[in-house]
C-alpha cells in the first residue's frame, strides 16, 4: 500500500489547550508537514480545497507550489479540486504551472465539493453541481490535451481556438475522481477509465463500498479492465497510542470539536460518538496493531492501493508524534502485507537551468492506465 498525508488546512483552536495557529503559522505548519512526510517516506502530500472558516485551503495550487519548492520527491495531490465552481481555463493554467514548477509531480483529485457554502460564492446552485462538474471536467481535459480548442457550454463563455499556457510538463496529468455520495462521480470516473478516490470519512464502510463496486461495474461497461482499477481511500482521523483506551482518551476532545463544526454537521455522520465510529466507521484510533487490522479489513472491502491519513487539528507536537508512529509502526507492515505498484514508475522531471539552445524536455507517459 502507498500512503498520502492530506490536509484541509482546518485552523480551529486546539481542543485541549485553546491555542490557535495564526494564518502564517498554519501555512508554515503545512510546509513542515510536507517536509516531514517526505522524510518519513510518505508517497504523496495533498491539500484539499475549501472556501471559508475554519479552513485556509482556498488556493491549493499556490500552497502546493510552495510545497513543491520545499520538497523534491513526494507526489503532490489536490484533495479535492472543487471543479464544479472553477473556471477550467484558470484551472488548466494554474495547475499546469504547478506541474512545471514541481518537475511533473502533480496529480489532481476532482470533485463537486463537500461544503455547500462555495456555491453562492461562485454563482451556481447546489442543484447544478453535478452538471457543472461534468461540463467543466470535459473542457479541462480538452484544454490539457488539445490546442486551438473551440468550445461552447453553459458555465463559462465560449472559447475560440484557445491554447492555454503553459502546457503541462507531464504528457497527461493524472486525474483521480473524488467519490463520497453519488454514483454520478463513479460514472464519470469509469467513463474515462480514471482512478477513483473514496473519501471514506463520515459513513459506514458499506456506503463507500457500494460506490466503489458501481465504479468497477461501469469500468467494464465502458470497455476498461476493472481488474486494473486504481483506487485510493481516505481514513477519517488518525490517533495512535499504546492502547485503544489511551488513544480514545487523548483524541476524544479533537473528535468532539471537529464534529461540532458546521462543515461536519453537513455530512450527517450517523455515528453517535467516537467509540461508535471506531467500531463501525473509518477512524483509525487505537494501538498500531489495531489500526493495521482495521486498514486490512477496509482493504478487503475496497481493494484500494493508496491510503490517505490526516493529522488536522492536533497540536504541533502531536502531529509529529502521530506521523512518526504511523511511518514506523503501521506503514511498514501494510507495505509488506498489501503491496501496491502505484507511483512505482512515476518519474520526477527535475529540470536543469535552461539555455536558449536547449530543446524542451521529452513528454512522459501517463502514470495511470486503468
**Read out DSSP for 211-268?**
HHHHHHHHHHHTT--GGG--EEE--S-EEE-SSHHHHHHHHHHHHHHHHTSHHHHHTT
**Beta strand ranges found along 99-191 (DSSP E):** 106-111, 149-151, 159-162, 175-179
Residue 260: pLDDT band with limits 50, 70, 90: confident
Residue 224 in grid coordinates? 476498461
Cα separation, 106 vs 296, in Å, equals 28
Please indicate whether residue 279 or residue 362 has the higher confidence score (pLDDT). 279
- The arithmetic mean of pLDDT across residues 189-215, rounded, is 96
> Would the pLDDT of 264 be above 70?
no
Q: Name the residue with cell 537551468.
A: 353
Average pLDDT, the chain: 91
- Which of 172, 90, 184 has the alpha carbon at shortest distance from 129? 184
Q: How many residues are recorded in the chain?
A: 370
Cα separation, 352 vs 61, in Å, equals 23
% residues pLDDT > 90 (the chain)? 78
Instruction: Look at residue 43 and give its three-state secondary structure.
Output: coil
- The arithmetic mean of pLDDT across residues 164-192, rounded, is 95
- The arithmetic mean of pLDDT across residues 125-137, rounded, is 92
pLDDT tens for residues 50-96?
Answer: 999 889 999 999 999 999 999 999 999 999 999 999 999 999 999 99
Q: Give the pLDDT of residue 266.
A: 67
32 exposure class (CB count in 10 Å sphere: 0-12, 13-18, 19+): middle
pLDDT tens for residues 278-321?
Answer: 999 999 999 999 999 999 999 999 999 999 999 998 999 999 99
**What is the value of pTM for the model shown?**
0.91
Instruction: Look at residue 311 and give its three-state secondary structure.
Output: coil
Amino acid at each position: 500500500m502507498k500512503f498520502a498525508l492530506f490536509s484541509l488546512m482546518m485552523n480551529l483552536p486546539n481542543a485541549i489547550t485553546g491555542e490557535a495557529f495564526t494564518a502564517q503559522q498554519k501555512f508554515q505548519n503545512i510546509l513542515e508537514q510536507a517536509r516531514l512526510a517526505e522524510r518519513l517516506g510518505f508517497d504523496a502530500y495533498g491539500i484539499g480545497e475549501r472556501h471559508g472558516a475554519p479552513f485556509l485551503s482556498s488556493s491549493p495550487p499556490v500552497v502546493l507550489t510552495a510545497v513543491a519548492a520545499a520538497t523534491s520527491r513526494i507526489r503532490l495531490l489536490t484533495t479535492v479540486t472543487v471543479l464544479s465552481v472553477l473556471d477550467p481555463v484558470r484551472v488548466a493554467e494554474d495547475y499546469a504551472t504547478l506541474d512545471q514548477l514541481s518537475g511533473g509531480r502533480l496529480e489532481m483529485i476532482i470533485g463537486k465539493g463537500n461544503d455547500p457554502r462555495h456555491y453562492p460564492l461562485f454563482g451556481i446552485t447546489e442543484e447544478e453541481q453535478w452538471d457543472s462538474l461534468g461540463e467543466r471536467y470535459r473542457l479541462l481535459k480538452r484544454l490539457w490535451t488539445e490546442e486551438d480548442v473551440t468550445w461552447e457550454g453553459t458555465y463559462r463563455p465560449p472559447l475560440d481556438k484557445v491554447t492555454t499556457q503553459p502546457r503541462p510538463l507531464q504528457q497527461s496529468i493524472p486525474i483521480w475522481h473524488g467519490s463520497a455520495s453519488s454514483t454520478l462521480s463513479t460514472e464519470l470516473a469509469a467513463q474515462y477509465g480514471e482512478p477513483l478516490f473514496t473519501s471514506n470519512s463520515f459513513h459506514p464502510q458499506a456506503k463507500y463500498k457500494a460506490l466503489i463496486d458501481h465504479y468497477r461495474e461501469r469500468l467494464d461497461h465502458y470497455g476498461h479492465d476493472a481488474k486494473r482499477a486504481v483506487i485510493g481511500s481516505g481514513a477519517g482521523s488518525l490517533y495512535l497510542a499504546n492502547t485503544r483506551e489511551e488513544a480514545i482518551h487523548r483524541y476524544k476532545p479533537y473528535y468532539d470539536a471537529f464534529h461540532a463544526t458546521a462543515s461536519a454537521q453537513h455530512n450527517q455522520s450517523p455515528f453517535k460518538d467516537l467509540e461508535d465510529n471506531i467500531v463501525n466507521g473509518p477512524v483509525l484510533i487505537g494501538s498500531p496493531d489495531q489500526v493495521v487490522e482495521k486498514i486490512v479489513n477496509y482493504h478487503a472491502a475496497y481493494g484500494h492501493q493508496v491510503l490517505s491519513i490526516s493529522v488536522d487539528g492536533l497540536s504541533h507536537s502531536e502531529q509529529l508524534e502521530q506521523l512518526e508512529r504511523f511511518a514506523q509502526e503501521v506503514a511498514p507492515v501494510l507495505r509488506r502485507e498489501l503491496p501496491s505498484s502505484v507511483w512505482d514508475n512515476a518519474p520526477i522531471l527535475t529540470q536543469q537551468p535552461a539555455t536558449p539552445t536547449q530543446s524542451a524536455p521529452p513528454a512522459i507517459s501517463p502514470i495511470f492506465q486503468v
